[in-house]
């Protein structure tokens, strides 16, 4: 169903809610919050639910106005399908890749079939090799990291195709701020902080530091080709993250990705 099609009022009462995988942005704005995100995310995002519905409606208006929006509706909230309770590492990005076919709803990741991979991701792989000796991959599928509790969260969750930064200050920042605050302030049953390490690459990511409380932070320059040589290369974020997780009694992340997705 095209994003610009409106659901008539009778249909809302006569039909079951459509699947988030089968609707456009405007229709997503009408779905219950717990159908858009994992149940524990729905609880902590409830205070910003009005802002979330507003920004989804805004995206519907963008599509109706003829703009191509990335990522696809089915992926725009993908980061929040991973249960909040599983998060061990937070990697904050800026906004989705504006190149059609690249954005998949996880910061820095692309679809496994995308060739070549973005240069920022290639630099991440270069640092991973230097840090832990894992050979760079030709694909950009980072779902193995997400499956281990690495939250790959962009600060802004959508973009017009070909227009980097075009959806800043449209409402996403309040939503992702609430999410980051929730991640950082979880506690275990004994009242101690839940294990977490935050990786902040670049100035934009650094702006969330006040939301993180006492969370250990690994910060450096962004992996973009414009800045990677100014502090990203040599920062060893992967081994340092694992060391900090071990200090918190939470094991490690297996950062090596499969050769093919």
**Catalytic amino acids?**
95
Can you spell out the DSSP letters for the chain?
Answer: --TTPPPPHHHHHHSPPPPGGGS-HHHHTTS-HHHHS-HHHHHHHGGGHHHHHHHHHHHHHHHHTT--EES-GGGTTGGGGS-GGG--EEEEESS---STTT--SSTT---TT-SSPPHHHHHHHHHHHHHH-PPPPS----HHHHHTTEEEEESS--EETTBTTTTTTSSHHHHHHHHHHHHHT-B-TTSSBPP-EEEEESHHHHTTGGGGTT--EEEE--SSTTTGGGTTTT--HHHHHHHHHHHTT------PPPS--
């Amino acid at each position: 169903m095209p994003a610009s099609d409106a659901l008539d009022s009778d249909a809302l009462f006569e039909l079951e809610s459509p699947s988030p995988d089968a609707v456009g942005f405007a229709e997503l704005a009408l779905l219950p919050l717990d159908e858009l995100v994992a149940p524990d995310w729905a609880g902590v995002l409830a205070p910003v639910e009005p802002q979330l519905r507003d920004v989804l409606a805004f995206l519907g208006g963008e599509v109706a106005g003829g703009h191509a929006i990335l990522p696809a509706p089915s992926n725009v909230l993908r980061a929040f399908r991973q249960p909040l309770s599983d998060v061990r590492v937070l990697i904050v990005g800026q906004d989705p890749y504006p190149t059609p076919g690249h954005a998949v709803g996880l910061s820095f990741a692309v679809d496994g079939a995308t060739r070549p991979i973005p240069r920022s991701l290639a630099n991440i792989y270069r640092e991973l090799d230097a840090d832990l000796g894992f050979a760079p991959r030709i694909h950009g599928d980072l779902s193995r990291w997400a499956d281990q509790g690495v939250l790959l969260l962009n600060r802004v969750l959508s973009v017009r195709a070909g227009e980097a930064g075009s959806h800043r200050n449209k409402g996403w920042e309040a939503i992702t701020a609430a999410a980051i605050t929730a991640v950082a302030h979880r506690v275990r049953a004994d009242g101690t902080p839940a294990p977490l390490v935050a990786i902040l690459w670049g100035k934009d990511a650094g702006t969330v530091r006040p939301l993180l409380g006492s969370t250990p932070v690994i910060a450096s320059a962004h992996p973009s080709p414009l800045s990677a040589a100014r502090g990203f290369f040599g920062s060893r974020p992967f081994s340092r993250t694992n060391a900090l997780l071990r200090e918190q009694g939470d094991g490690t992340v297996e950062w090596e990705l499969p050769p093919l997705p």
